[in-house]
């Protein structure tokens, strides 16, 4: 099993009446709610937590990309990954990822990801999301019905930029370049492992299977609700006649560990409530720009997930509802162990993105939960997939010896 400690980097100071006063947590919320001076501490605390997770033995540390979003303060995940690359040594840098349809030219992603792979000595996991409609269409202005075509072209360009050893010309519909020439190139060959966040479209399942990429389902609604979607993925894997390695799949899960079930509730309930109530207050008119999803996906999918009623439902969920409904896996180490086993077996996943900083959770509580999980849960889950222990296709291949960040010496020390 591979565990990646993930921080969404939410803004922890949304007012109590946020839902009543504001239209949406994403796209059109006023930036006056953000305070850059407090933001300085917020960023640094979150980065410290990611580094702390490495010291506890998490396999990866994860960042992602959102725009105009108060629960995801990383418009540029690559900047975060770059700071982490210098202060960590072992953990995979899981960048989930760069919304490749947004970069002009997309070679920029090939270059920056290569930089990160070189900086980190081959520890990059490269995520290529299509990007949510909120980010990609509403905030970054990509025409919804052209998003997927643009994405496919960007993917082709990036993979070729990494693969080719000579400059080449690329005559795409959206990008025309006479000289594609990626300097630097990534350390990992033929390329860093690639994770594709998906939300249930068959096209994305097949894309991952064909390219041997990891399909990652990033949901906040937990493992019980994810069963149907992941079953659909595995069905597609069977049909494609490839192996059933669990490392073909990943799942994001909110996890809160306390010494006891009671302690977990006492420590974490208010922060879980902050996240599911305030942070997920997304205006449904931004959820799905017309043309962003394929009609096939729309017809197959539960539109009700995107209705206002269902989003409002989230807000009224109590700790008990959220824990019983599996949105959140919470409790004592023993409780969390059992539920994690259900998740891992039930969804057949080799990658867990552990969402352990939740909403406005303070640093000490975040570290408490993170440590308990690392010491008392993770070791019991390590060997859930013994038949695939040797499968290294979906994870990083770092250099054996990594350079260290040296401290500058003061003149006196030189003398």
Residues lying near other proteins in the complex (CB under 8 A): 27, 137-138, 141, 143-146, 173, 283-286, 288-293, 295, 298-299, 303-304, 307-308
Smallest separation (angstroms) from other proteins to the CB of 152: 13
Residue the block writes with tokens 């795409």: 172
Tell me if 390 sits within 8 A of 7, measured CB to CB: no
Cis peptide before 184 (omega within 30 of 0): yes
The gap between the terminal CA atoms of the chain, to the nearest Å, is 49
Q: Tell me the CA distances in angstroms from 95 to 252, 328, 365, one per residue in order.
A: 14, 23, 25
Residue closer to other proteins (CB basis): 212 or 294: 294
Query: In a 10 Å sphere around its CB, with 0-12 CB exposed, 13-18 middle and 19+ buried, how is residue 71 labelled?
Result: buried
- Strand 176-180 vs strand 168-171: parallel, antiparallel, or unpaired? antiparallel
Smallest separation (angstroms) from other proteins to the CB of 146: 6
Smallest separation (angstroms) from other proteins to the CB of 153: 12
Residue closer to other proteins (CB basis): 118 or 306: 306
Tell me if 81 sits within 8 A of 61, measured CB to CB: no
Q: Strand ranges (DSSP E) for 161-205?
A: 168-171, 176-180, 194-198
Smallest separation (angstroms) from other proteins to the CB of 140: 9
Residue closer to other proteins (CB basis): 30 or 141: 141
- Tell me the C-alpha distance between 45 and 362, whole Å: 9
Residue closer to other proteins (CB basis): 217 or 283: 283
Residue closer to other proteins (CB basis): 136 or 335: 136
Report the DSSP beta bridge partners of residue 156: none
Smallest separation (angstroms) from other proteins to the CB of 293: 7
Residue closer to other proteins (CB basis): 134 or 336: 134
Closest CA to 50 of 379, 356, 400: 356
Smallest separation (angstroms) from other proteins to the CB of 70: 17
């Amino acid at each position: 099993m591979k565990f990646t400690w993930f921080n969404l980097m939410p803004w922890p100071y949304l007012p109590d009446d946020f839902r009543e006063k504001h239209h949406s947590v994403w796209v059109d919320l006023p930036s006056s709610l953000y305070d850059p001076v407090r933001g300085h501490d917020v960023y640094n605390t979150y980065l410290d937590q990611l580094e702390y997770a490495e010291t506890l033995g998490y396999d990866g540390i994860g960042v992602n990309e959102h725009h105009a979003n108060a629960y995801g303060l990383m418009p540029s995940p690559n900047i975060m990954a770059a700071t982490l690359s210098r202060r960590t040594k072992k953990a995979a840098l899981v960048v989930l990822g760069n919304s490749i349809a947004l970069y002009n030219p997309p070679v920029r992603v090939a270059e920056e990801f290569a930089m990160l792979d070189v900086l980190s000595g081959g520890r990059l996991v490269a995520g290529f999301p299509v990007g949510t409609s909120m980010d990609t269409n509403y905030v970054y202005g990509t025409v919804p019905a052209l998003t997927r075509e643009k994405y496919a072209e960007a993917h082709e360009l990036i993979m070729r930029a990494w693969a080719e050893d000579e400059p080449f010309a690329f005559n795409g519909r959206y990008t025309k370049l006479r000289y594609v020439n990626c300097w630097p190139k990534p350390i990992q060959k033929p390329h860093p492992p690639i994770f594709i966040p998906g939300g249930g479209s068959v096209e994305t399942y097949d894309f991952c299977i064909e390219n041997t990429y990891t399909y990652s389902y990033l949901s906040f609604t937990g493992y019980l609700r994810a069963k149907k979607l992941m079953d659909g993925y595995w069905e597609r894997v069977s049909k494609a006649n490839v192996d059933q390695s669990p490392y073909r799949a990943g799942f994001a899960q909110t996890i809160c560990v306390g010494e006891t079930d009671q302690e977990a509730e006492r420590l974490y309930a208010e922060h879980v409530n902050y996240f599911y109530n305030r942070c997920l207050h997304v205006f449904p008119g931004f959820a799905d720009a017309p043309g962003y999803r394929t009609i096939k996906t729309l017809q197959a999918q539960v539109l009700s997930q995107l209705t206002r009623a269902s989003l409002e439902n989230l807000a009224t969920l109590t700790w008990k509802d959220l824990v019983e409904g599996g949105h959140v896996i919470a409790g004592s180490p023993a409780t969390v162990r059992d539920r994690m086993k259900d998740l891992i077996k039930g969804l057949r996943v080799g990658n867990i993105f552990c969402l352990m900083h939740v909403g406005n959770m303070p640093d000490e509580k975040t570290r408490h939960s993170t440590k308990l999980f690392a010491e008392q849960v993770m070791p019991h889950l390590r060997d859930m997939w013994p038949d695939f222990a040797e499968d290294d296709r979906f994870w990083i291949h770092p250099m054996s010896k990594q350079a260290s960040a040296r401290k500058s010496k003061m003149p006196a020390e030189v003398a």
